[in-house]
Structure 1
């Protein structure tokens, strides 16, 4: 594609067969116009969690036109798909996210992820059987909210997968991704309405219940470990100042660096909400709107192969970061060998979930990053299968 190129193979690649790697890179470049077009099309028509009908269809169509066997509605999710090519003993899945953020569009750059994962699949397809690979691209909706990958994992979509990979655009380069575990909680208090002046004693104030809970959580924070976090917003708390509010609602999140800590943190936070219900005389309803997001666990071998391939392609040196985000790819990493590197897309200091990052996700720098990501992911899969290092064959699991 004019103006966009992928840097060449150096002499020090992770796999010994530079010819295979060069052919894979050429395959990515042969599809550059299609991949960049896919990224820009998804970027221009953002769709939020479980509403990604166009993005799923467009991504699946690119793969289907290249001979992939595509299953729409994978795992019972209408905006998911699974596309497969080859019949080798090592199955590698590339995860294609494509959901956007409400009100912000693709301020997390999932359009880049979808195109990069599709590109890795397209690049490997002609070599799949020769490398001993079964190549899968899994369309994964609802990463921002909804836990799409966790639902697909529970539905068996990742059964038989030996390794799962994806890349995420960012303001810096990483290989080993560290994430918080995340739990969500929807809170609803139901009280009893009454006139605030004529008969306040007949009411049960749901807004007061929410206030009591927030105070309790604020005090609880003083005793929480530094890596345990609680935050939320009130979404309803009455409609008229002269009527005792009969309903109040809020959405809360809890985070910890280890999935094992979520249960303990959740118990303490829920106790705050229950105590406020008792104090106010209101009914409490607590629901979990999505699966918990676990903490990400990198596979060291995959991370090492990816790092070597990224360096061979001339990507910037990676940095190590403390946990700063969450992903439902972490759930996959607890069941399947996985990596989730980040690529710098030249966002000029903008960070994900910022409108400026949304603009950066469809620039020539982002386009080049997605093509390079496709190459690196494909190379890493080839290395894992033993296609260029003397035929290690199926990795030990």
Structure 2
């Protein structure tokens, strides 16, 4: 069947690359990806997929289905961009490769006994679209879920870090910074003390724990004591459990800053917590063999755990059902994701090849898992266990 997969993707090559370039040229932020979602869903609809838009109450999410087989295979498309630097994470490639895999699997659906479901999942960069879709039942029928993410190298069993996405607001009291500073309560001082605490905490972090943040709102004018300051912070760790430990300590630093400056503070969760990726070993191996047959050289398994990919809401999905989130390599001239040079690399000939190879590898992995009787039964039994657990 893999020759049929190759033929289908070759036939759709022009449309897939055009979709990738179109999304790249028109970047949209989290939950605002109206044009990107529409382009992605429309290409699937043109090839006979039944598209439901606005699933899970999210206007830029969709579900596109083909076939009626008992085993439902999900392929996730992302299409949100980063502020100012656009598609520096290559979500245009993710969307196009997901569509390509869906188009390749559709003609095989009846023979494989599967339903192919391409899910448009918004707001991966901030907002946790997959977490919301997971909580609202969109992933319930799926036996497995998969997607492919671009990067500077190929990684079959890619891992990620758990993450908390927080905003902390310090509130004080305005006053004239020269004429009556004693009447003010400086929210910027609260932020400074909190950041000193966070900086000192770094030497006591467990392996894999990370902290990074910015001051998103630091005051109005130098001669006005700042009464409102906001900081945005990402907290990351190797596991959800380790993230809980880190969060407890960091929240104490925020509270200490407020106390020291005579201010109050509030903490807001910007996105749902992201869990770490737990890739399915059988599907990872199937994917690895496929890309090696294509002439790619993925990172050796022994090194995969040492190369976490930041954080992704796909991690939450892999805690509930079997899934993979491999990295498809492209030539980026040494640039890493979230750098402007990587955004530029995501519409090159190498990026276009990543779209096609990623689609072939995802579709081939789906063929492999659906064709293996033991694996097929494992996936179907997983759906039944989850269904029984909700009753």
SS at match of 1:290: strand
Asked if 1:26 corresponds to 2:7, the answer is yes
The structure with more helix, counted as a fraction of residues: 2
Find 2:130's aligned residue among 149, 153, 163: 149
Distance 1:368 1:82 in 2: 26
**Corresponding residue number in structure 1 for 2:16:** 35
**Corresponding residue number in structure 1 for 2:353:** 368
**Corresponding residue number in structure 2 for 1:54:** 35
TM-superposed deviation, 1:391: 8.6
**Corresponding residue number in structure 1 for 2:108:** 127
**Corresponding residue number in structure 2 for 1:259:** 240
TM-superposed deviation, 1:279: 2.1
Find 1:76's aligned residue among 46, 50, 57: 57
Asked if 1:274 corresponds to 2:255, the answer is yes
**Corresponding residue number in structure 1 for 2:388:** none
TM-superposed deviation, 1:207: 1.0
Q: Contact 1:90/1:394 (CA < 8 Å) preserved in 2?
A: no
Q: Contact 1:385/1:395 (CA < 8 Å) preserved in 2?
A: no
Deviates more, 1:316-325 or 1:261-270: 316-325
SS at match of 1:198: coil
Distance 1:378 1:38 in 2: 18
Q: Contact 1:46/1:106 (CA < 8 Å) preserved in 2?
A: yes
Provide closer, same or farther for how the CA distance between residues 391 and 22 of structure 1 changes in structure 2, counting only shifts above 3 A.
farther
Asked if 1:66 corresponds to 2:47, the answer is yes
SS at match of 1:31: helix
1:316-395 matches, within 5 Å, as 316-319=297-300, 320-321=303-304, 322=306, 323-386=308-371, 393-395=376-378
* Unaligned runs of at least 5 residues, structure 2: 383-391
* Unaligned runs of at least 5 residues, structure 1: 1-19
TM-score (norm 1): 0.92
1:14-43 Cα offsets, whole Å, 9 max, x none, are xxxxxx211121011111111111111111
Distance 1:281 1:391 in 2: 63
Q: Contact 2:165/2:273 (CA < 8 Å) preserved in 1?
A: yes
> How many equivalent pairs are there?
376
Provide closer, same or farther for how the CA distance between residues 229 and 195 of structure 1 changes in structure 2, counting only shifts above 3 A.
same
Q: Contact 2:167/2:233 (CA < 8 Å) preserved in 1?
A: yes
Distance 1:25 1:268 in 2: 51
Find 2:184's aligned residue among 198, 203, 207: 203
Distance 2:101 2:67 in 1: 14
1:142-174 Cα offsets, whole Å, 9 max, x none, are 111111111111111101111111111110011
Asked if 1:104 corresponds to 2:104, the answer is no
1:213-292 matches, within 5 Å, as 213-292=194-273
TM-superposed deviation, 1:196: 2.2
Provide closer, same or farther for how the CA distance between residues 278 and 46 of structure 1 changes in structure 2, counting only shifts above 3 A.
same
TM-score (norm 2): 0.93
Q: Contact 2:9/2:359 (CA < 8 Å) preserved in 1?
A: yes
TM-superposed deviation, 1:358: 1.0
TM-superposed deviation, 1:245: 1.3
Q: Contact 2:164/2:234 (CA < 8 Å) preserved in 1?
A: yes
SS at match of 2:193: helix
1:303-335 Cα offsets, whole Å, 9 max, x none, are 111111212222224343322411111111111
Deviates more, 1:304-313 or 1:165-174: 304-313
SS at match of 1:311: helix
SS at match of 2:230: strand
Q: Contact 2:170/2:258 (CA < 8 Å) preserved in 1?
A: yes
**Corresponding residue number in structure 2 for 1:11:** none
Q: Contact 1:385/1:391 (CA < 8 Å) preserved in 2?
A: no
